[in-house]
Amino acid sequence: MNLRKIIVPLFIALPIPIFLKIRWLPNVYDALFKGIYRYYDFEIETLREFIFHVYGSSYFIDYVLSVLMLMLPFQLIKDYYSKKNIRLSFLKKWGILTCIVSGWIILLGTFSNIWWVPWYKNMIYIAYALFLGLICTTLLYFAIDRHVDKNNQPTKNK
């Protein structure tokens, strides 16, 4: 197995826990650019303290889950098609990763009751899945898939 297929997804998964907490992104924006630190009813005075409260307490768990629940299935699906000599286009890879992210949103949304709000307010999750799928697929394409595709091209017999 190519070592690149192991190392690169581990690095690409590093920022995913930040995007998994999509609910806090407006507050993080306010903290970074406006200096307003809102986190429930805590009195927070520094950016470092705010970032720790939002991300620090569960970052490692979120990172491991993003590797196991997003990156690993995606790579296994790509390897499955590769072994069958079926080449996946970039759009198909994007669709696969978007479906994996959407599946987890649907599954976890069932337990967190996001379905109680009107459907049009949940459209952000579709955009979120598309955006996360596009970013990760693009990074994985340039870091892994392009090199693997070059190495697996059939040689011409003269």
The reported pLDDT for the residue numbered 122 is 80
Q: For residue 125, how far is the Cα from the chain centroid?
A: 13
Q: What angle (nearest 5°) sits at the alpha carbon of residue 83, between those of residues 78 and 89? A: 45
Structure tokens at 132: 């996360």
The reported pLDDT for the residue numbered 156 is 46
CA distance 41 to 86: 53
Prediction pTM value: 0.81
Report whether 132 contacts 16 (CB < 8 A). yes
CA distance 10 to 114: 29
Domain ranges (residues) in the chain: 4-151
**Cβ partners under 8 Å of residue 80, min gap 6:** none
CA distance 139 to 13: 11
- pLDDT tens digits along 44-99: 888 888 888 888 888 899 999 999 999 999 999 999 998 999 989 999 999 999 99
The reported pLDDT for the residue numbered 155 is 45
